[in-house]
Amino acid sequence: MLDTQPRSPQRRRVYLMRHGAVTYFDGTTGRPVLPEQVRLNDDGIAQAQAAGEAFRAAGVRFDRVIVSGLPRTVETADLVLRHAGQGELSPQVWPEWQEIRGGRLGEIPTDELARTFTGLQRSPVPESQRFLNGESVGELLDRVLGGIARLQADPDWDCALLVLHGVVNAAILSHAVTGGQRLMLGSWVQSPACINVLDVAPPTGDAPGDWLLRVCNFAPSHPLHADERSTTMEALYAQYLRYRGQRG
């Protein structure tokens, strides 16, 4: 059967994923796990496998795979590629797309905890907003948008898989849907191992490029999100309150 769908010769495809589920608090002690060390839990492994199988079923073939370098993105990409039948691909590590960096949780006053944990959910998020008293949104945008410019300037790919993080993905999606603006919209929900589908044309002159958002937050293992009502940071806030209560 002939493919009757028109295809732009300039527009390229980006599959933007969040890593699979992880456990940020130790199940035995309740203590926080360092974000640089946390790995996929059993749910995260199953979610990444389901995403890979979805790519295989759709006949998607990647010619570029990029991860942030943090273990949870590396593990997710490895599982996705193996279950997509593309285990021969080697992901590139782009550290500019590591997750927004938090500060020391123990230094946050109790009366500021709720605002600090959920401050990135506002839209638009001010660039001065800091994540858990750590990196600011402005600092995050500096490096994330620099990575976007680097990707767009590279002509040697047509279909890329990016396995990154919730807040980083929100920055990329905000940039795309606002016509290339430097802006962070806080209302993006990124479920573990979700898939976003974006098409982008190369930049012309001073224009940042033509973006199309085709799919957002598609999670192959739970596509309707029937059991989800809270955000990742709301869930982490509840876990941290339990940890603080145990310490007290």
d(CA 159, CA 5): 17
Q: Are 144 and 96 a contacting pair, CB within 8 Å?
A: yes
What does the pLDDT look like over 69-116, one tens digit per residue? 999 999 999 999 999 999 999 999 999 999 999 988 778 888 888 888
Q: Which of 104, 106, 144 is nearest to 127 (CA)?
A: 144
- Domain ranges (residues) in the chain: 12-247
Report residue 134 as tokens. 């750590």
Report residue 117 as tokens. 């944990």
Q: Are 90 and 77 a contacting pair, CB within 8 Å?
A: no
**DSSP helix/strand/coil, 210:** coil
Q: Which of 15, 132, 140 is nearest to 81 (CA)?
A: 15
What does the pLDDT look like over 5-38, one tens digit per residue? 655 558 999 999 999 999 988 777 767 888 899 9
Q: Which of 152, 186, 229, 191 is nearest to 20 (CA)?
A: 191
DSSP 26-59: -TTT-PBPPTTT--B-HHHHHHHHHHHHHHHHHT
Average pLDDT of the residues of the chain: 90
Angle, CA of 86, 145 and 151, to the nearest 5°: 40
Q: Which of 76, 51, 56 is nearest to 66 (CA)?
A: 76
Angle, CA of 212, 78 and 161, to the nearest 5°: 15
What does the pLDDT look like over 124-172, one tens digit per residue? 999 999 999 899 999 999 999 999 999 999 999 999 999 999 999 999 9
Superfamily of domain 12-247: Phosphoglycerate mutase-like (3.40.50.1240)
